[in-house]
Each structure stands twice: as structure tokens, then as C-alpha cells.
């Protein structure tokens, strides 16, 4: 609690007697009884604003019935200041519409002050500045009054105030009464990006690529003629196998599978497919003999699966009926009988479908091993993004192998090249991790414009709006968001008890600290060895009066992240201890 004026009544009366502000000098007689409180005593950043309630109690027989007092809250910081909403108080005989303070009974008034947050406010003062107006004397118009000693400007000061500029600003600040110092900006430490969701890269270090070619046979035959072993398809197969054979990242697995068309006796067809498998293997060994590759062979009898695929892809009349027969019957003989009974389509099957199933199929299943994470990281550092595909870029950005700037550059390259939902979304998360809230919001918007459903990135849209201080916009998404996101929304609005119960780890520790639950806060980060956690432990230690621990933890934080050496000098939680109880 503060007195509105800080000097003794005798000095105040002496000063004011000379001032010529008739109504105001009488008010100074009881000025020691004017009481003022600011809640909270240390201002707090909350939801992009700094707010406080300033309570003033005017004593009985204090407020002159003809006086008007104009009070303006001002946030003062290096390089500027921001004025809040001015409040007016008047005596009972003033013919105006301000708040009346009765002379006989005194009065109590709470003034709510609110300022949009400016980063410079972290090191600031909240001042009250007053101007007085009396019907007679030198204060017929509102005149600045020094709330520290009750004086009004001297002739020289009045001239400087009228001229404006730096000297006028200095006088105004000297005349203001400081009621709070600094702003606790711990709400900014909440890591919203921790709850954001990246999209899967789809990357696989080993992929399987399958190449096929067919040796074709005449009906009921397992012999290959010259034409059958010299097709363009087989030549292409051989060329690709040769190209891959010299690549130590590729393992080729080659098979020859013999088949028979599903017409004729099943046992006969089983033998026929086995014979085709063997003759096909010999032909394939000859085809690939210079490559030194081993081949496996197998036979599969009647090829009903191939039959089904070819019919489904054809334009044969009544193909739906044919496919229905395949579903209705499992016996090979029953299927064949039912299909032969469909005389109107069987001719087409004999001409278009069955000849394609009389084959030995040559299959190359190649396991291709991609770049290592270290190789991808090296390409990123060399700026060779063109040598990485989208999946590789999204993957390497998720591995922790890259610095924050490298990660952002990689995802920017992916977004610029592929303009995909995943690239834009993951870039948005990376921007958020770097504290670039505006860029993050833009990236998420591009993800939606690229065709992404808002529901896919609902949490991210909610969190980026919270991060950017727009809790109203965030409400469009928080209703369908995760419990963690809703808890972070509560923290952004200052509901730290609610947030703490739903969060874990570092964010829970921040909420608990703001909720003055220091024991729980320490437990949440007990196993967290990051610089952020060390710094938070230093803050908690000062709250508990443990300066030895505060010093040790702050030194740990600075060793891991040197930026904390400057931050602690601005932090309202620590700065008064730096150089005193805390020696760095």
C-alpha cells in the first residue's frame, strides 16, 4: 500500500501554498491518509495484455468539493511509454459527470488499467500521473502535479512542458508516482509448438520396387519359341537388372513363377505350370547370365487371380457376371464349368484373356536402400535441396540432425517445390518452434489452401492463434482440439490451475509456477536437463528464497544457452538478485 503523496503534510502544504492551486492545497492537509494499492503488485503478461486494478481510498474531509483530479496510468519503459485510459474524479460541487468523491464521507474507487503488451514493457514502471483543476488560482485549467511531493511545475518546467520533446517527457516521468515495476512475462515461456502436430513424411529407408516380364506359351505347351524369348519386355527387364546390378544400395531378388490358364483339367494344369516354371527359369538364366544373379523358380497352377484382374480391366460384356461367378465358387472345376456355360462370353475369354495367362512370369523384387540421415543432412548443409525428394526433406527435418535454421530452410525448400499440405504444415510447426508466430500462421493457411482439411491441422490452427495472442480466433478450433491444446488455451487466458491439471512436462511446470505451486513445478521438470528447465528452476528457487540453487541453476542455463545471461537481467523474477544474492 502506498500513500498518494510521499512527503510530509508540512512540506506538501508549504509547496502547495506557493503553487496557487487553491482547491488542491487544501486537499494536501490530509494527504497522508490517501491510500493506494496495485493488484497484482508485480504486473503479469496475460493474453497479450498487461492489466491491474489500482484501488484509491480518499479519506473523510479530503477531497475539495470544487476540485477535479485527472489521473492517467502510464507504462514507462526505455525508449517510450504507453498511456492507459484516463479517469476523472470530482468534488461534489463540480458541475460535471465524473466520479464524485464526497468531501464529508470520502470515497473508495478501483481503477482497472489495461495495456496491449509491448516487449519493452518487461523492464518498465507503471506510473500514475495526475492533473488538477480548480475554479480559482493558477490551476483553472488542468495542471500537472507531482504525485511524489505534491508540487506543480515551476515556471521553467511549465515552459518545457509546453514546448514538448524529451525534456517534457522527463518532467512528466519525474512527476509520476510509480506503483509497480516490471512485468512477469512467463506466459511467453509456454511452448505451444510442443503440442503442434507434424504430418508423416512417408519416407522409408528401404523401398521395394517390382519389375515384371513374361515368357508366353502356346496352349498346353511348356516350350518357348524364339519369339517368346526375345520380346521388348524381356530386353527392358534385362537392361534394368543390369543397371541395378552395379549399385551397392540395391539388392535384387529374381523369381520365375509358372502359371497355366484355368481351362482344362486342374491336375494337368498343375504339371504344366511346373514345366513352364522350369523352362522359364532356364530362359531367364540365359537372359541374365552375364549379371551373375541367382534365380528362384516356383509354380502356381491355374492362375485364377490373374484371370480376375484381366477380366476386371477388360471391356468384355457381362464381366460383372463373370466376376460374380468367381466370388460364388471356390472350386476350380465349378468355376470353369459355370464360365463355359456362358457361351456368349466364353469365346471372348478364349481370345482375350486365357492366352495372357499361359506364361512364366519373371519378377525382379528390388530392395533399394536410400540415403542415410547423415548423407541427407550433408546435402542440406551444402544447399543441395534438389538432390532430395519431398519425403527425404520431410524426414530429415524430423530427425533432430539439423539446426533450427537448417530445418526451416529444408522445409521452406520442400514447400516451395512441392506445395503440399504436409510440407506447409510441418514448416508451420518449425516456424512456431522458432517463435515465428506470424510465419507459422501463414504456413498453416497455405496448408489449408493446398487442399488440407482444417480438421487435419485443427490443433495447429488453434495453437498458432493462441501463440499470436488471438484467443478469440483460436476458439473456432479449440472446441474440437485435444485436451492438451484446450489446457494451453486456458493457460493463455491466465487459468493456470486448470491448465496445470491437463499438461505435462515443461508447460505444466510453467503453469504451476504461475499458479505458485512450486513443489509441483519442480516435479514436472525433474528429469528435464534443457536450458529452459534450468532457467525455470532458477526462477522457482528465487520464489522459495533458495539463492544458492537459483545461482547454480542459472549458471547451468547460461552454459547451455548464453542468451539467458541477458534475459535474466530483464526478468522481473530475477533481475533484482543479479549481482547481489546471485553472482554470475
Burial 310-319 (b: 16+ CB within 10 A, else e): bbeeeebeeb
pLDDT in tens, 26-71: 665 566 678 889 999 899 999 889 999 999 998 888 888 899 999 9
Alpha carbons 217 and 9: distance in angstroms, whole number: 118
Q: Please give the DSSP secondary-structure letter assigned to residue 264.
A: S
pLDDT score, position 344: 77
Averaged pLDDT of the chain: 90
Residue 517 in grid coordinates: 505451486
pLDDT score, position 14: 38
pLDDT in tens, 419-433: 999 999 999 999 999
State yes or no: pLDDT of 172 exceeds 90: yes
State yes or no: pLDDT of 19 exceeds 80: no
pLDDT score, position 3: 56
β-strand partners of 54: 38, 111
The closest of 436, 420, 481 to 201, measured between CA atoms, is: 420
pLDDT score, position 31: 63
Q: Residues 497, 502, 504, 506: is their CA dihedral positive or negative?
A: negative
Alpha carbons 128 and 73: distance in angstroms, whole number: 5
Phi, psi angle pair for 345, to nearest 5°: -115, -15
Window from 85-94, 102-111, 555-564 with minimum mean pLDDT: 102-111
Question: What confidence tier does 7 reach under pLDDT thresholds 50, 70, 90?
Answer: very low
404 and 433 in contact (C-beta within 8 Å)? yes
**CA 73 from centroid of its chain's CA atoms:** 35
* Alpha-carbon dihedral 161, 162, 165, 171, rounded to 10 degrees: 0
Q: Can you tell me whether residue 45 is helix, strand or coil?
A: strand
pLDDT in tens, 526-552: 999 999 999 999 999 999 999 999 999
Alpha carbons 419 and 415: distance in angstroms, whole number: 5
162 and 144 in contact (C-beta within 8 Å)? no
pLDDT score, position 376: 96
- CB-based contacts of 73: which residues, under 8 Å, 6+ apart? 54, 83, 84, 85, 111, 113, 126, 127, 128
Question: What confidence tier does 149 reach under pLDDT thresholds 50, 70, 90?
Answer: confident
pLDDT score, position 524: 97
pLDDT score, position 24: 74
Question: What confidence tier does 450 reach under pLDDT thresholds 50, 70, 90?
Answer: very high
State yes or no: pLDDT of 9 exceeds 50: no
Residue 321 in grid coordinates: 457376371
401 and 374 in contact (C-beta within 8 Å)? yes
pLDDT in tens, 271-293: 999 999 999 999 999 999 999 88
- CB-based contacts of 105: which residues, under 8 Å, 6+ apart? 60
pLDDT score, position 23: 78
**Percentage of the chain modeled with pLDDT above 70:** 95
Roughly how many angstroms between the first and final C-alpha of the chain, as a whole number? 33
pLDDT in tens, 341-375: 887 788 889 899 999 999 999 999 999 999 999 99
pLDDT in tens, 174-205: 999 999 999 999 999 999 999 999 999 999 99
Alpha carbons 23 and 269: distance in angstroms, whole number: 119
pLDDT score, position 6: 46
- CB-based contacts of 354: which residues, under 8 Å, 6+ apart? 261, 262, 263, 307
Q: Which residue has the higher pLDDT, 238 or 579?
A: 238
Q: Which residue has the higher pLDDT, 18 or 233?
A: 233
State yes or no: pLDDT of 559 exceeds 90: yes
pLDDT score, position 18: 40
Amino acid at each position: 500500500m502506498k500513500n498518494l503523496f510521499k512527503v510530509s503534510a508540512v512540506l506538501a502544504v508549504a509547496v502547495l501554498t506557493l503553487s496557487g492551486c487553491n482547491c488542491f492545497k487544501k486537499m494536501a492537509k490530509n494527504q497522508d491518509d490517501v491510500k493506494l494499492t496495485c493488484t497484482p503488485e508485480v504486473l503479469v503478461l496475460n493474453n497479450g495484455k498487461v492489466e491491474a486494478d489500482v484501488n484509491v481510498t480518499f479519506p473523510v474531509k479530503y477531497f475539495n468539493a470544487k476540485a477535479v483530479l485527472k489521473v492517467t496510468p502510464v507504462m514507462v519503459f526505455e525508449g517510450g511509454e504507453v498511456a492507459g485510459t484516463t479517469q476523472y474524479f470530482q468534488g461534489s460541487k463540480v458541475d460535471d459527470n465524473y466520479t464524485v468523491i464526497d468531501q464529508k464521507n470520502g470515497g473508495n474507487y478501483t481503477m482497472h488499467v489495461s495495456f496491449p503488451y509491448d516487449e519493452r514493457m518487461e523492464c518498465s514502471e507503471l506510473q500514475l500521473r495526475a492533473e488538477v483543476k480548480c475554479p480559482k488560482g493558477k490551476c483553472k485549467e488542468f495542471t500537472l502535479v507531482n504525485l511524489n511531493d505534491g508540487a506543480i511545475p515551476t515556471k521553467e518546467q511549465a515552459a518545457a512542458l509546453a514546448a514538448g520533446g524529451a525534456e517534457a517527457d522527463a518532467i512528466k516521468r519525474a512527476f509520476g508516482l510509480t506503483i509497480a515495476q516490471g512485468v512477469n512475462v512467463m506466459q511467453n515461456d509456454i511452448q505451444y509448438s510442443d503440442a503442434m502436430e507434424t504430418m508423416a513424411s512417408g519416407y522409408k529407408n528401404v523401398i521395394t520396387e517390382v519389375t515384371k516380364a513374361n515368357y508366353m506359351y502356346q496352349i498346353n505347351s511348356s516350350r518357348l519359341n524364339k519369339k517368346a524369348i526375345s520380346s521388348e519386355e524381356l530386353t527392358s527387364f534385362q537392361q534394368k537388372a543390369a543397371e541395378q546390378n552395379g549399385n551397392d544400395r540395391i539388392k535384387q531378388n529374381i523369381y520365375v513363377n509358372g502359371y497355366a490358364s484355368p481351362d482344362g483339367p486342374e491336375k494337368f494344369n498343375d504339371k504344366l505350370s511346373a514345366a513352364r516354371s522350369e523352362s522359364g527359369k532356364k530362359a531367364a538364366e540365359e537372359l541374365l547370365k552375364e549379371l551373375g544373379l541367382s534365380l528362384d523358380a516356383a509354380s502356381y497352377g491355374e492362375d485364377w487371380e490373374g484371370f480376375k484382374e484381366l477380366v476386371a480391366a477388360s471391356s468384355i460384356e457381362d464381366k460383372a457376371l463373370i466376376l460374380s461367378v468367381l466370388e460364388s465358387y471356390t472350386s476350380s472345376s465349378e468355376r470353369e464349368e459355370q464360365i463355359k456355360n456362358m457361351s456368349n462370353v466364353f469365346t471372348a475369354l478364349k481370345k482375350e484373356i486365357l492366352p495372357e495367362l499361359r506364361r512364366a512370369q519373371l519378377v525382379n523384387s528390388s530392395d533399394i536402400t536410400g540415403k542415410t540421415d547423415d548423407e541427407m543432412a550433408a546435402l542440406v548443409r551444402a544447399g543441395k535441396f534438389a538432390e532430395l525428394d519431398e519425403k527425404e526433406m520431410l524426414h530429415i527435418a524430423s530427425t533432430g540432425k539439423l539446426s533450427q535454421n537448417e530445418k526451416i530452410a529444408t522445409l521452406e525448400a520442400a514447400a516451395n517445390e512441392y506445395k503440399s499440405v504436409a510440407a506447409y504444415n510441418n514448416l508451420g510447426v518449425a516456424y512456431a518452434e522458432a517463435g515465428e508466430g506470424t510465419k507459422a500462421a501463414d504456413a498453416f493457411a497455405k496448408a489449408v489452401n493446398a487442399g488440407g482439411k482444417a480438421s487435419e491441422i485443427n490443433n495447429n490452427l488453434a495453437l498458432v492463434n493462441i501463440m499470436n495472442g488471438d484467443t478469440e480466433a483460436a476458439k473456432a478450433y479449440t472446441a474440437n482440439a485435444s485436451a492438451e491444446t484446450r489446457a494451453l488455451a486456458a493457460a493463455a487466458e491466465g487459468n493456470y490451475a486448470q491448465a496445470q491439471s491437463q499438461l505435462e512436462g515443461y508447460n505444466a511446470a510453467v503453469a504451476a509456477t504461475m499458479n505458485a505451486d512450486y513443489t509441483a513445478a519442480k516435479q514436472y521438470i525433474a528429469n528435464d536437463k534443457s536450458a529452459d528447465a534450468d532457467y525455470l528452476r532458477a526462477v522457482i528457487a528465487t520464489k522459495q528464497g533458495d539463492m544458492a540453487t537459483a545461482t547454480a541453476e542459472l549458471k547451468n542455463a547460461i552454459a547451455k544457452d548464453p542468451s539467458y545471461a541477458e534475459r535474466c537481467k530483464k526478468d522481473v523474477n530475477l533481475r533484482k538478485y543479479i549481482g547481489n544474492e546471485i553472482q554470475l
